[in-house]
Amino acid sequence: MAAILGVLGAVSAYLGLFPKRAVPMETCLAKSLERFPGRTIWVEYLTTEHERFYEFEVETTDGHVLNVECNAETGEIVEYSRHASPEDPLFAQAVAITFEKARALALAVKPGRIVSAETYFHNDRTPFYEFDVITPAGKEYKIEIDGTKGEVVAVEDEAWEIGG
């Protein structure tokens, strides 16, 4: 995985896929693994209206699976989320909306085809639903729904993904 990430970083820099002031992906990867030791499963480059970041899925040495977000302009870890099964009693007790309601909210924001759905605890507290949606135009978005409030909290443009 490290070799693939290194090649991707070089090719992406050459093609201009990163903003000029972006920190190298390897810097964010190192910070992610320093804070959450384990192995990287995949990496994505995501953008919103106001920020750009790398998201790493990490299987930690203690067996948890985390998504770790690193700001691509500052190199700081900004958040993490721990995967949770929808059947997990803690998750089931914490959510106020159903999976179906969250799915409908995601598709109302970005109509298209859901290609992936996850449930997790944001920063080990708030339950979230996350949907990857491909629009009819072929663009992929990540939509995050707060499971306690039933609100869309993030719409992220997925520029690229490696692994997974």
Residue that finishes a domain, picked among 48, 82, 116? 82
pLDDT in tens, 68-102: 999 999 999 999 999 999 999 999 999 999 999 99
Kind plus residue range of the DSSP H or E element containing 43: strand 38-47
Tell me the two tokens of residue 142: 């990540």
pLDDT in tens, 7-54: 455 444 444 554 556 899 999 999 999 999 999 999 999 999 999 999
Phi, psi of 19 (to 5 degrees): -65, 155
What is the count of structural domains for the chain? 2
Q: Report the CATH number at residue 117.
A: 3.10.450.40
Is 151 in the same domain as 128?
A: yes
Closest CA to 97 of 132, 127, 137: 127
